[in-house]
Amino acid sequence: MAAPVSGGGRLCRLAWRRRAGALHSGAQPAALGREPGKVAAAQSGVAPWRAVVGLEVHAQISSNSKIFSGSQVQFTAPPNSLVSFFDASLPGTLPVLNRRCVEAAVMTGLALSCSINKKSLFDRKHYFYADLPAGYQITQQRLPIAVNGNLSYTLCVGAKQSQMVTKNVRIKQIQLEQDSGKSLHNDARSQTFIDLNRAGVGLMEVVMEPDMCCGEEAAAAVRELQLILQTLGSSQAIMAEGQLRVDANVSVHHPGESYGVRTEVKNINSLRFLARAVDYEIQRQIEELENGGTILNETRAFDYKLGCTIPMRDKEGKQDYRFMPEPNLPPLILYDAKSLPANIDDQQVVNIDWIQERLPDLPSVKRVRLVEQYGILPEHSFTLLVLEELWKGEGKTPLQIVKEKRLELIQNQRELDQICQAVMEGHQEEVMEIKAGNKKVLNKLIGLVQRATQRRADPILVKQILEKKLSQ
Amino acid sequence: MLRAALREVSTALKEGQVSPTELCQRCLSLIKATKCLNAYITVTEDTALRQAEESEKRYRRGQSLGDLDGIPVAVKDNFSTTGIETTCASNMLKGYIPPYNATVVQKLLDQGAVLIGKTNLDEFAMGSGSTDGIFGPVRNPWSYSKQYREKCGQNSHLENEDSSWLITGGSSGGSAAAVSSFTCFAALGSDTGGSTRNPAAHCGVVGLKPTYGLVSRHGLIPLVNSMDVPGILTRCVDDAATVLGVLAGHDPKDSTTVQDPFNPFKLPSVIDVGKLCIGIPKEYHIPGLSSETLKVWSKAADLFENAGARVIEVSLPHTCYSIVCYHVLCAAEVASNMARFDGLEYGHRSNMDKSTESMYAATRREGFNDVVRGRILSGNYFLLKQNYEKYFIKAQKVRRLIANDFVNVFSSGVDVLLTPTTLRDAVPYVEFIKEDNRTRSAQDDIFTQAANMSGLPAASIPTALSEKGLPIGLQFVGRAFQELQLLTVAKWFEKQAKFPILQLQEMLDHADALSHQKISLSS
């Protein structure tokens, strides 16, 4: 069973154990019950493992037209109806950079506390595939538009998932690039259908450093990124529509040793599958290594029906993409208030400071405000924020919602005290057990208080009150 | 009329001395009569006549669009033309009919020019002879000239000269031959390493390579994106300036065109070169240079000096590295640009259907000739991760040094450089094909490709006839975006050189005899 340890800070101290019994298909990774303060129980002879997870998130840019051509961006449309001459790679066509895509990337970079590169470059990444008409993708390999940022996200921890822990993941870079078309295989008839509607849609690739240690962290990080993108409007980030796709890089190693060989799990398109795929892959690697095998530096896909990762046959061996500068696009130059040349047509330039000034409040800021100003529980702030968008249409403010749903914390100490007292009196047996030394039962009492207060009590405060009473 | 300069024809059209349809028909007849030159891949007879009729209506209303209205022009077959097959002389694009016009083509049409046909070239513009396309080689019109045949003692019929005809040079040989043989008044070529200037020199016409970034490449099927420019071929320098005035300027569809506004210019009629400084690069005096060309070059330098110009020797020290550097960068970009030809969206598709990969491989093997495939293979080799630094990056660095050579020379007071365009006059086809394409390109591009590496404007001007009676051209290289100065100097030189007009009458008489139609070049 996975033995948990976790805390705050960047380095995840979660230690993994191989699950008892072999991995079998259909198995779900066990829920990680983590309790603060618990240390991994050492099992005889088996050293603990640490997992390291990095992510490459591809977010489709929310824009009217594609990143290098004027054809429309639309999720559902008849196949090959949104394809310009450039998208179809007709000879002689040239890329023209879409300003809105640049702004989206700058917004996202600023929201993720990145340094925006005032000069960035475009490159060609070559490979042959039916959904890549030009035989290369235009991307930013040498010098991307934004680097060195970070993303804070929160996890619910504790037995009842009621404690919030803040985690950090470093953002290595954000790069602008083209999306590919879609291919649909009909193996029975040996046919492949190509739809180029998606070919050339603008993407922001957000690269997250391997600061995560399990599927839950990966999913939480991506969820927060999703909220940020949606708040900015730079991407609608709807995973089900393919607007947000995740590739996970997973490896395992023993604490104190260097990182292991990593595998890449590609094209995960839901948060649930992301968590499952990552956790499965971690377990698979542990099992493989403990059986004396080795991990191949390979690309794998997640089979969501079987719940496992499988090697992707056509991506065997390391691909050499023969990167080359894109000769048809000059370097992308961005300005700020200081470097902006005089007498310039501001339709022709992107001003980083101008964009910074107009950034909306990010989800983390909004949550803090909800908790501080309206006194609601932190975990409710998450739900509220998501619902805020829904309710916006009905004209209600968060405060009205809080009052309506009676979500505000019980601040009155006396009231809390009375409720705790009542619970204790109603559960004398449990009180006796605690006094006899069985501390675990305290959690039951806390839970009863929560129920009585409709979860409007701060659990830490409740615990303090109960402990004080029990020691009397 | 067919030998006249653009402005004269334009005046004649305005004054009704000749009509656009007459002009068009004469050119079409002449094309038929000179069919053996193989200069045209597609002759757009119907659309040309239609365009000529439209032009005629405009002239009758007194609403001509400008100097190019009603003027027959030809376009190299690597420019995209709506509804007109664009092949790049390759099996890969045989039958490909583009749905859009290249910007430069559109600009010509917007000025009322009459598109008379798409001209022949080396496959995908790779070559210096216009011999390696699927439609066969282009013949230099001077092969049938009175001047050449007299000098070579040829008195027999044309048929016997079938084996000794000369190449046009390349890769824009079709366009050069078309202009040279009077079948059109101007033609578009492309220039990546000299592909406009080289055939211009061999065919005795003016070949202008504009500054990189001045003229849009949108619709020009690329060879090397960082070096390609559309080239202009005409029979005199004034005409080149006229055409440039129509084509130059920023194109939002081409992000590598400069934003600065371009002002079309008319070259002065009185030119004084006394204040100029002409540079003669000493590294261009190489062993392979024919003694004739060397003589012509020296004479030209003297001409400038006698007119009061300062003529000095200059140095472009990295010249010896430029051919190798060019080949590395060219191959790398070719490998990349050709990756789109997979048979899926357009062009040739192989019948092989076992798998996508095998279909790709078969399509590309069937669609490309050896020259193209060779460059793709070497280009991919240079771009491999383990080779990128020592080939591609290294070549980019050397390219910077070569470009700096020119910057240094031009900032030391030199206005224009004067060099040969080619090593010698045109050779017979049977001799040319003794060496392979790569060897020939390396030899023939030697004076021209540095201008592509550095992005500078350059023009080849017909200067004199060789002992064989064949054209020798000299090249002028100017400062970036200083086409006005470059062409002014070139125009002065053209006036001094008094290059003779191609005498093709005998060939045409022969064609008459075959077709019973009298074609005359005299007005």
Chain B contacts in chain A segment 327-346 (CB below 8 A): 327-330
Annotated catalytic residue B171:
yes
What's the pLDDT at B191?
98
Q: What does the pLDDT look like over A211-240, one tens digit per residue?
A: 999 999 999 999 999 999 999 999 999 999
Residues of A in contact with B356 (CB under 8 A): 130, 192
| Percent of chain B clearing pLDDT 70 (strictly above) | 96
Please spell the DSSP secondary structure of B431-468, one letter per residue. HHTTS-HHHHHHHHTTTTHHHHHHT--EEEEEEEE-TT
Q: Is the pLDDT of residue B258 over 60?
A: yes
A395 torsion bin: left (phi>0), alpha (psi -120 to 50), beta (else) = left
Q: Do residues B198 and B471 touch, judged by C-beta distance below 8 A?
A: no
Residue A459: which pLDDT band, with cuts at 50, 70 and 90? confident
- Nearest-CA distance from B104 to chain A in Å? 12
Q: How much of chain B is helix, strand and coil, in % rounded to 5?
A: 45, 15, 40
Annotated catalytic residue B226:
no
Q: Is the pLDDT of residue A159 over 70?
A: no
Q: Do residues B138 and B38 touch, judged by C-beta distance below 8 A?
A: yes
Q: Do residues B65 and B71 touch, judged by C-beta distance below 8 A?
A: no
Chain A contacts in chain B segment 133-192 (CB below 8 A): none
Nearest to B255 among A89, A96, A134 (CB): A96
Q: What does the pLDDT look like over B352-388, one tens digit per residue?
A: 988 889 999 999 999 999 999 999 999 999 999 999 9
- Nearest-CA distance from A166 to chain B in Å? 40
Q: Is the pLDDT of residue B293 over 50?
A: yes
Q: What does the pLDDT look like over B326-361, one tens digit per residue?
A: 999 999 999 999 999 999 999 999 999 888 899 999
Return d(Cα A195, Cα A93) in angstroms, integer: 19
The pair of structure tokens assigned to A71 is: 């054809």
What's the pLDDT at A40?
39
What's the pLDDT at A22?
42
Residue A23: which pLDDT band, with cuts at 50, 70 and 90? very low
Phi/psi for A189 (5° steps) reads: -105, 10
Chain B contacts in chain A segment 191-220 (CB below 8 A): 192, 194
Residue A347: which pLDDT band, with cuts at 50, 70 and 90? confident
Q: CA neighbours within 13 Å on the CB side: how many for A105? A: 32
Q: Is the pLDDT of residue A401 over 90?
A: no
Q: Cβ–Cβ of B254/A134 closer than 8 Å? A: no
Nearest to B255 among A91, A130, A330 (CB): A330
Return d(Cα B13, Cα B30) in angstroms, integer: 19
What's the pLDDT at A29?
41
- Nearest-CA distance from A82 to chain B in Å? 15
Mean pLDDT of A173-178: 98
Chain A within 8 Å of B218 (Cβ-Cβ)? yes
Phi/psi for A139 (5° steps) reads: -145, -170
Q: Is the pLDDT of residue B458 over 80?
A: yes
- Name the DSSP class of A376: B
What's the pLDDT at B226?
97
**Cα separations in angstroms, A256 against A19, B106, B225:** 22, 67, 51
Q: Do residues A398 and A388 touch, judged by C-beta distance below 8 A?
A: yes
Residue A404: which pLDDT band, with cuts at 50, 70 and 90? low
Chain A contacts in chain B segment 69-98 (CB below 8 A): 79-80, 86, 88, 93, 96, 98
What's the pLDDT at A25?
38
- Nearest-CA distance from A292 to chain B in Å? 33
Question: For the packed helices A428-435 and A459-471, what is the interaxial angle rounded to 10 degrees?
Answer: 70
Q: Cβ–Cβ of B356/A94 closer than 8 Å? A: no
What's the pLDDT at A113?
97
Q: Do residues A17 and A283 touch, judged by C-beta distance below 8 A?
A: no
Q: Is the pLDDT of residue B425 over 90?
A: yes
What's the pLDDT at A452?
85
Residues of B in contact with A190 (CB under 8 A): 353
Residue A472: which pLDDT band, with cuts at 50, 70 and 90? confident
CA of A128: which chain B residue's CA is closest? B339
**Cα separations in angstroms, A276 against A28, A52, B379:** 7, 15, 43
Q: Kindly report whether the peptide bond that precedes residue B171 is cis, defined as omega within 30 degrees of 0.
A: yes
What's the pLDDT at A42?
40
What's the pLDDT at A225?
97
| Mean pLDDT for all residues in chain B | 94
Q: Is the pLDDT of residue A32 over 60?
A: no
Chain A within 8 Å of B125 (Cβ-Cβ)? no
Chain B within 8 Å of A89 (Cβ-Cβ)? yes
The pair of structure tokens assigned to A19 is: 């699950």
Q: Cβ–Cβ of A133/B344 closer than 8 Å? A: yes
Nearest to B336 among A94, A95, A124 (CB): A124
Could you give the angle at the alpha carbon of B276 between the alpha carbons of B270 and B278, nearest 5°? 120
What's the pLDDT at A457?
81
What's the pLDDT at B390?
97
Chain B within 8 Å of A94 (Cβ-Cβ)? yes
Query: How many of the other CB atoms lie within 10 Å of CB of B55?
Result: 25
Residue with tokens 């200081």: A338
Q: Cβ–Cβ of B219/A92 closer than 8 Å? A: yes
Pairs of residues, one from chain A and one from chain B, whose beta carbons lie less than 8 Å apart: 100
Q: Is the pLDDT of residue A12 over 60?
A: no
Chain B within 8 Å of A88 (Cβ-Cβ)? yes
Q: Is the pLDDT of residue B158 over 70?
A: no
Return d(Cα A446, Cα B21) in angstroms, integer: 98
Nearest to B339 among A88, A126, A329 (CB): A126
What's the pLDDT at A54?
97
What's the pLDDT at A11?
40
Q: Choose the weakest-confidence range: A103-117, A355-369, B98-112.
A: A355-369
Q: Cβ–Cβ of A323/B383 closer than 8 Å? A: yes
Please spell the DSSP secondary structure of A302-354, one letter per residue. EETTTTEEEE-GGG-S------EE-TTSPPEE-B-TTTPPTT--TTS--BHHH
Chain A within 8 Å of B252 (Cβ-Cβ)? yes
Q: CA neighbours within 13 Å on the CB side: how many for A131? A: 19
Q: What does the pLDDT look like over A113-138, one tens digit per residue?
A: 999 999 999 999 999 999 999 999 99
Name which of B336, B391, B392, B397 to mutate to probe chain A: the one with the most chain A Cβ atoms within 10 A of its Cβ: B336
Please indicate whether residue A273 or residue A409 has the higher confidence score (pLDDT). A273
- Nearest-CA distance from B311 to chain A in Å? 37
Q: Do residues A270 and A226 touch, judged by C-beta distance below 8 A?
A: no
Annotated catalytic residue B195:
yes
Residue B414: which pLDDT band, with cuts at 50, 70 and 90? very high
Of B19, B90, B171, B460, the catalytic one is B171
Nearest to A134 among B253, B340, B380 (CB): B340
What's the pLDDT at B143?
94
Q: Is the pLDDT of residue B418 over 50?
A: yes
Nearest to A91 among B80, B335, B353 (CB): B80
Q: What does the pLDDT look like over A179-210, one tens digit per residue?
A: 999 999 888 888 889 999 999 999 999 999 99
What's the pLDDT at A323?
97
Q: Is the pLDDT of residue A8 over 50?
A: no
CA of B223: which chain A residue's CA is closest? A92
Q: Cβ–Cβ of A90/B99 closer than 8 Å? A: yes
Beta bridge partners of B518: none
Chain B within 8 Å of A130 (Cβ-Cβ)? yes
CA of B220: which chain A residue's CA is closest? A92
Q: Is the pLDDT of residue B217 over 90?
A: yes
CA of A329: which chain B residue's CA is closest? B255
Return d(Cα B102, Cα B125) in angstroms, integer: 16
Q: Is the pLDDT of residue B407 over 90?
A: yes
- Nearest-CA distance from A125 to chain B in Å? 9
Beta bridge partners of A205: A58, A175
Q: What does the pLDDT look like over B218-250, one tens digit per residue?
A: 999 999 999 999 999 999 999 999 999 999 999
Q: Is the pLDDT of residue A36 over 70?
A: no
Q: Cβ–Cβ of A94/B100 closer than 8 Å? A: no
Q: Tell me, rounded to whole angstroms, the distance of Cα B511 from its chain centroid.
A: 27
What's the pLDDT at A464?
87
Residues of B in contact with A135 (CB under 8 A): 336, 338-340, 342
Chain A within 8 Å of B102 (Cβ-Cβ)? yes
Q: Choose the weakest-confidence range: A8-17, A233-242, A367-376, B138-147.
A: A8-17
Q: What does the pLDDT look like over A38-85, one tens digit per residue?
A: 233 344 346 889 999 999 999 999 999 999 999 999 988 999 999 999
| Mean pLDDT for all residues in chain A | 85
